[in-house]
Structure 1
Amino acid sequence: MSYAYKLNEDVHHRPQGPQGRAATDPPMIYTIVQRMPIEADGRLRYRIKSKSENIERVVTEDQLSYSQ
């Protein structure tokens, strides 16, 4: 498995609502700051940092999309 996103790349994060449902908030722009080790479930994870707020989070690759 290879990572789709590179370090320092800008991406959109699609937040999840309660119980995994789609959230109504618009996607925010984040920057990839670290590629996390592949977990036992096989999903790729990234540490991302918000461009507009002082927020960092760890997300799975399926929650991200390219920023234009």
Structure 2
Amino acid sequence: MAHNYAIDDDVHHLRQGPQGRAGIQQPSVYTIITCLPIEADGRPRYRIKSKTENVERVVTEDQISRLA
């Protein structure tokens, strides 16, 4: 499986609530800053940076989506 997003792509990240439950808040806008190695289970990973806060996260591809 290959990465579907590239560096500098803007994406939505849906924040996770307690125990992995999706939060009610609107998705935050992040920019992909690095494509990381694909996990052993085949899921691509990315390092993303918030456009509004001083926050970086490492996420799997199923946790992000393209901007509408």
TM-score (norm 1): 0.92
3-state SS of paired residue (2:31): strand
- 2:5 corresponding residue in structure 1: 5
1:2 maps to a residue whose letter is A
TM alignment of 1:1-68, pairs within 5 A: 1-68=1-68
Which runs of 5 or more structure 1 residues have no equivalent in the other structure? none
Report runs of 4+ in structure 1 exceeding 3 Å deviation.
none
Percentage of identical aligned residues: 62
**Deviation at residue 12 of structure 1 after TM alignment:** 0.2
TM-score (norm 2): 0.92
**Deviations 1:9-46, CA, capped at 9 Å, x for gaps:** 00000111111111111100000000010111221110
Which runs of 5 or more structure 2 residues have no equivalent in the other structure? none
RMSD of aligned alpha carbons: 0.9
